[in-house]
A = this chain, B = another copy of it.
Amino acid sequence: MINIAILGYGVVGGGITEVIDRNREKLSAFVGDDINVKKILDLRDFPDSPYGDRVVHDINEILNDDEITIVCETMGGVNPAFDFSLALMNKGKSMVTANKELVAKKGLELTECARENGVFYFFEPSVGGGIPEIRGMRTSLAGDTITEIDGILNGTTNYILTRMKREGVDFTSTLKDAQRLGYAEANPSADVDGLDAQRKIMILTAVATGYLVKENDVYCETMTKLTPADIDAAKRWGGAVKLLGSARITDEGCALYVAPFFVPESFPLSFVEDVYNAIRIVSPVTGDVMFYGRGAGRMPTAGAVVEDVASIASGLAAKEKRCEWKAAPEGYVKPFEENLFSYYVRVKNDSESEVLEAAELAFGKVEKLCGAPAGYVEFITDKIAEKDARIAIAGGAFGTVESVIRVH
């Protein structure tokens, strides 16, 4: 019998016992042993739950229970999850977490602590919910070199963008709807300002490269400024606006950013809609592979926790590519200003010829986007460095710039 504990018996924590009960037989067959939830840490009591008698209120009851070998952390937040995780691993217990904030902020200390204690610190559920992209990178892509990652990593913002595209509505009213439906939190900043996606692309890049970068090394741009005019322009251009988390990896270093992008229809991420997530990974041998599925939600996330538990319990984990993260060396992440992009630009100005002439002087070659709203000119630039684009835009020689969005 494999005894496990759960920290935090909320939505995902409660899902874990449900998944284990539902798939008991298949899990036992895979693991070669039964999985038993022995203790659950929560401040509350759950008198009506069949697991009510397993609930404890003191972490020491789990810490000092030598029968418990794997602990699932679904508390969220950095504290006290961080201290609990270190203490539990120091007691020889492996950890599985759905807590992307903790992994992104404290991943170095946590993976190092796991290594020192010969245990596992696993976090498949922290990125992409039920999508098995981290296991894919640690098994199927373990012998290959990952050069590009692009992800739609946040379901809330993708839901908002999908509604904006389908219905032509504005950001604020769509966000309110999403909040009413429970898809967005009362304080939506972590989602709409890109911080959630920022943590996830940090984690994916660390799995690919072994380097966990600092949060403020990852350029992060809010999607709150997007307007129906932007979404409409992307449609006319032949694609959609998506909030991407991206990494471009070379032997020398890495470009890392989260921002809204014009994504063409020829690119598979452009079709990922509603609350779905997808992660596209490029390597020279395999080409491009995309993992798609439900990026959040009680059952998919709890299912991913249980998969990680099963992989540790079955011995699979020990054979996957190890996660031994180091701090990225100075200069590993390329300054964002040096990255090259094409840009979509919308300018308030009646004179098309005036705008395009000035734009060519400022940006080099540009292409007019047809069907611009009356009184506006829209164009797409060739690839130029972000810093040069900023200078061109600040120059303002072609009128009032109303919108600038990078093109994937």
Residues of A within 8 A of B (CB): 19, 22-23, 26-27, 30-31, 124, 130-132, 135-136, 139-145, 266, 268, 271-273, 276, 283-294, 297, 299-300, 302-304, 306-307, 310-311, 314-316, 318-321
Contacts of A287 in B (CB 8 A): 130, 293-294, 297, 299-300
Query: How many Å from the CB of A391 to the closest CB on chain B?
Result: 38
Contacts of A303 in B (CB 8 A): 144, 283, 285-286
In angstroms, Cα B225 to Cα A167, docked, is 37
What are 12 A-B contacts with C-beta separation under 8 Å?
A: A19-B285, A23-B145, A27-B143, A132-B139, A132-B141, A139-B311, A268-B271, A268-B292, A284-B299, A285-B300, A286-B294, A286-B303
Inter-subunit contact A30/B300 (CB<8 Å): no
Inter-subunit contact B300/A286 (CB<8 Å): yes
From B23, B285, B302, contact of A130 by CB (8 A): B285
Contacts of A139 in B (CB 8 A): 132, 135, 139, 307, 311, 316
Contacts of A286 in B (CB 8 A): 130, 293-294, 299-300, 303-304
Inter-subunit contact A302/B319 (CB<8 Å): no
In angstroms, Cα B284 to Cα A289, docked, is 24
Inter-subunit contact B19/A307 (CB<8 Å): no
Inter-subunit contact B289/A291 (CB<8 Å): yes
Query: How many Å from the CB of A96 to the closest CB on chain B?
Result: 13
With contact pairs A271-B271, A316-B316 given, residues A143 and B285 touching in the complex (Cβ less than 8 Å): no
Query: How many Å from the CB of A221 to the closest CB on chain B?
Result: 26
In angstroms, Cα B141 to Cα A320, docked, is 16
In angstroms, Cα B311 to Cα A285, docked, is 17
In angstroms, Cα B316 to Cα A140, docked, is 10
With contact pairs A132-B289, A286-B303 given, residues A143 and B26 touching in the complex (Cβ less than 8 Å): yes
From B143, B307, B321, contact of A306 by CB (8 A): B143
In angstroms, Cα B290 to Cα A290, docked, is 8
In angstroms, Cα B346 to Cα A102, docked, is 57
Query: How many Å from the CB of A320 to the closest CB on chain B?
Result: 7
The 3 A-B residue pairs whose C-beta atoms are closest, nearest first, are: A132-B140, A285-B303, A316-B319
Inter-subunit contact B292/A292 (CB<8 Å): yes
Query: How many Å from the CB of A230 to the closest CB on chain B?
Result: 22
From B124, B130, B140, B283, contact of A135 by CB (8 A): B140
Inter-subunit contact B307/A316 (CB<8 Å): no
Contacts of A268 in B (CB 8 A): 271-272, 276, 292
In angstroms, Cα B26 to Cα A276, docked, is 32
Contacts of A131 in B (CB 8 A): 289
Query: How many Å from the CB of A151 to the closest CB on chain B?
Result: 13
Inter-subunit contact A22/B284 (CB<8 Å): yes
Inter-subunit contact A289/B293 (CB<8 Å): yes
Inter-subunit contact B285/A23 (CB<8 Å): yes
Contacts of A22 in B (CB 8 A): 284-285
Q: Which of A27, A141, A284, A291 has the most CB of B within 10 A?
A: A291
Inter-subunit contact B316/A320 (CB<8 Å): yes
Query: How many Å from the CB of A103 to the closest CB on chain B?
Result: 18
Contacts of A266 in B (CB 8 A): 273
Contacts of A288 in B (CB 8 A): 293-294
Contacts of A307 in B (CB 8 A): 139-144
Contacts of A23 in B (CB 8 A): 143-145, 285
In angstroms, Cα B284 to Cα A318, docked, is 27
Contacts of A292 in B (CB 8 A): 268, 289-292
Query: How many Å from the CB of A356 to the closest CB on chain B?
Result: 30
Known contacts A268-B271, A290-B292; 13 further A-B pairs (Cβ under 8 A): A26-B143, A26-B144, A27-B143, A30-B142, A131-B289, A135-B139, A143-B306, A271-B271, A285-B299, A287-B293, A314-B319, A318-B319, A319-B319
